[in-house]
Amino acid sequence: MKRLKEASLITAVKTPYTDQGEVCLKTYDFLIEQQIAAGVDGIIVGGTTGEGHLLSWEEHLMLIAHCVNNFSDKLVIIGNTGSNNTREAIKATENGFAIGMDAALQINPYYGRTSDKGVSEHFKRVLDIGPAYIYNVPSRTGQDITPDIIEPLASHENFIGVKECAGNDRIAYYEAKGIACWSGNDDESYVARHTHGSHGVISVTSNIIPGLMRQLMDKEPKGSTLAETAKLNEDLQNLMSWLFCEPNPIAINTALMMTNAVPKIFRLPYQALTLAQRQEGFEYLNAISLNDLVGDSVAVLDDSDFNYCI
C-alpha cells in the first residue's frame, strides 16, 4: 500500500495497434520503456486512454499479464478492471489480481446508472478483492462520486485513494481529511500537487512528455527550481488543452502518431484530429525539445497517413 500511495506520476498508457488491428506489443513495450526512462512511477493498463472500452477482456487481461511479467519490477501495474456491471467488474478484478497486478482502477457504474447506495455497494464488492483506486469522472459517467460516498469507503483496508476529476477544491478537501487523491486533470495537476497537497496525477499528457510531467510532480525537481517548474506548467497549458480538444484519447493518439512514436492506426470509432487541429498541435509539439518528446520527429501528417481498423 505504501508503494501505491507514493506513486506521484502514473501514466494512463496508450494501446497501439498493428496494421491488422491487433494490439502491437512491440510498440507498447517501447512506450512503457519511455515511461520508465523518464521516472514514471506506474501505469494504468487499459484505461480510457488505453482504450480499455475498445478491448476485449481477453486483450485487456493479456496486457495486464504482459506488463506484470515484463515491467512489475520497475512500475506499479494498475489494471483498469472496473465496469458498470458489478458482476463483470468482480470477475475482471479477480482475474487481474490472479495474474499479478498491483492494484485496480475502479469506476462507478455508468450509463445504466444506479443510486448512491448502489454505487457504495458496487465499490465495497470490488474493494474486498484487492487494493484499488476509485475513479471519479462525472463528465464520462454522468454521476459524481461525492464525499458522502467516498468517506465511508476510505476506511476499507484496500482503499488506496481517488483519481479525482471534479477539481482542486475537492482534492484539497479530501487531502485535508487524510484521503489520498490523484488529479485526473492534467492542466490542474501542478496546482493540485503543490498548492492543494495531492498525491500526484494519473496523466494522459505524460504519454508524450513523461519527463516534463515528472518535473511538474516532483516536490523537489531535479535541476530546476519550483519557480521554473511553475513556468513550465504555464508553458504546457496550451498543449494540455489541445490534448483534450476532442474526447480523450483522440488527441493523444494523433499526437503520438505525429511524433512517429506509434503506428498511424486508429481502432474505430476513433478518428484522427482534423488537419486544422493537427496544425495547431504541431505548433505546441514543435515548441518542445525533441529530447522531451516520445517519438523521433514532429509532422502534421496528411489525412491519408491514417488508417482505421475495428
Q: Catalogue the active-site residues.
A: 135, 163
CA 162 to chain centre: 13
Do residues 54 and 37 make contact, with C-beta atoms less than 8 angstroms apart? no
Burial class (CB in 10 A: 0-12, 13-18, 19+), 87: exposed
Q: Which residues pair with 134 in a beta bridge?
A: 106, 162
User: Which residue, among 177, 118, 172, has the nearest Cα to 143 in the 3D structure?
Assistant: 118
Give 302's contacts (C-beta < 8 A, 6+ positions apart): 275
**In this structure, what C-alpha cell is assigned to residue 56?**
476485449
Query: Between 86-98 and 57-71, two packed helices, what is the crossing angle to 10 degrees?
Result: 30
Percentage helix, strand, coil, to 5, in the chain?
45, 15, 40
